[in-house]
């Protein structure tokens, strides 16, 4: 059996749901697209060198020849809000309920070990999930899935309820072809976006996207506050309405690492210090350095305002009086 087939069988046996292979050639089209979007003001500015490195696997491994791209389904059948009267909760985006990124990366490292044993070669590799390389172009070229009109990768069996990961290696493996699929005439995600951030198919105005706003240190405009509902972190509206996603059966995979859950107590979030918050969530992406703690408490204050539970008044009053963050006080 070819080594590529053996690797795929092993990867699926340890819990990776989709496994495909592509070359480690640079993703020049993706780099070009990012630069164009920056010029249009649709995403934050990067310097050209950073963009080129982001879209070139050889920036992570100079001897790279192949990329094993994997997807893991994170859809579960758990309740989406654990709040109750007197203890209102803020909702967390599904992909953040647990640290699925860490789960994927750990499994890809096992795949690399398997590859070493099977080839008896000097295998060099780098494993990433939510890392410093652009994983969606990798997934698209490898045939893991195709781009939805919201810019998210869709897979045949799991829709976009997946996290992606990549194993970059100096071993040459047999490449897969991209999938000849698209969303056709469907515009469900475009119509449902609360802020109309999907300005045209496959083009996202990132500063408008609630997923982007959720962790940014900025004053939240009133029109966004009014549609914020009880979000605390993230937004999956465009995924929730996708017809393909609606047909996906939950895998109910529940890795223990980095557990946050579907919702968190908003009053507690307003009352904790940043040190306490970072310590509690250090194994999940909501505790990462790039997620503004001020933005999280701002989100909590807005969600409490939208819910209107009187039990939140003391916590809100205390935040107004004692928090140093101007975006929380606002």
pLDDT digits (tens, 9 = 90+) for 231-284: 999 999 999 999 999 999 999 999 999 999 999 999 999 999 999 999 999 999
- The pLDDT value recorded for residue 147 is 98
Q: For residue 20, what pLDDT band results from cuts at 50, 70 and 90? A: very high
Locus of tokens 């579960």: 76
- The pLDDT value recorded for residue 274 is 96
CA distance 105 to 247: 27
- The pLDDT value recorded for residue 324 is 87
In the β-sheet with 231-233, what is the strand arrangement from edge to edge?
231-233, 89-92, 263-265
φ/ψ of 272, rounded to 5, equals: -80, 155
Report the 10 Å Cβ neighbour count for 116. 16
- The pLDDT value recorded for residue 1 is 84
3-state secondary structure 271-290: HCCHHHHHHHCCCCHHHCCC
| Contact present, 234 and 285 (Cβ < 8 Å) | no
pLDDT 10s digits, 59-87: 999 999 999 999 999 999 999 999 999 99
How far apart, in Å, are the Cα atoms of 301 and each of 70, 89, 165? 38, 11, 34
| Contact present, 109 and 46 (Cβ < 8 Å) | no
Locus of tokens 């172009």: 137
- The pLDDT value recorded for residue 120 is 84
When pLDDT is averaged across residues 178-196 and rounded to a whole number, the result is: 96
| Contact present, 156 and 145 (Cβ < 8 Å) | yes
Question: Residue 90 above 90 pLDDT?
Answer: yes
Locus of tokens 């890392």: 131
């Amino acid at each position: 059996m070819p080594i590529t087939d053996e690797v795929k069988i092993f990867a699926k046996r340890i819990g990776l749901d989709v496994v495909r292979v592509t070359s480690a050639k640079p993703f020049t089209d993706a780099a070009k697209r990012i630069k164009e979007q920056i010029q249009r003001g649709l995403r934050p500015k990067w310097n050209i060198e950073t963009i080129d490195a982001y879209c070139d696997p050889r920036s992570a491994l100079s001897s790279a020849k192949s990329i094993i791209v994997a997807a893991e389904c994170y859809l579960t059948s758990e309740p989406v809000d654990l709040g109750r009267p007197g203890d209102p909760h803020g909702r967390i985006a599904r992909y953040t309920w647990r640290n699925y990124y860490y789960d994927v990366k750990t499994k890809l490292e096992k795949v690399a070990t398997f590859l070493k044993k099977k080839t008896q070669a000097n295998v060099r590799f780098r494993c990433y999930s939510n890392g410093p390389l652009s994983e969606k172009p990798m997934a698209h070229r490898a045939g893991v899935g195709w781009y939805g009109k919201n810019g998210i990768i869709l897979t045949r069996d799991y829709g976009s309820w997946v996290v992606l990961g990549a194993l970059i290696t100096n071993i040459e493996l047999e490449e897969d072809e991209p999938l000849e699929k698209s969303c056709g005439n469907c515009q469900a995600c475009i119509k449902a976006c609360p802020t109309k951030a999907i300005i045209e198919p496959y083009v996202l105005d990132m500063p408008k996207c609630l997923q982007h706003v959720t962790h940014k240190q900025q004053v939240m405009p009133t029109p966004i506050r009014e549609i914020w509902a009880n979000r605390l972190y993230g937004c999956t509206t465009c995924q929730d309405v996708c017809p393909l996603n609606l047909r996906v059966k939950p895998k109910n995979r529940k890795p223990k690492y980095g557990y946050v859950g579907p919702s968190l107590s908003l009053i507690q979030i307003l009352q904790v210090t940043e040190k306490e918050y970072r310590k509690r969530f250090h194994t999940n992406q909501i505790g990462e350095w790039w997620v503004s703690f001020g933005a999280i408490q701002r989100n909590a204050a807005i969600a409490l305002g939208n819910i209107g539970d009187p039990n939140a008044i003391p916590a809100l009053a205390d935040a107004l009086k004692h928090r140093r963050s101007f975006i929380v006080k606002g």
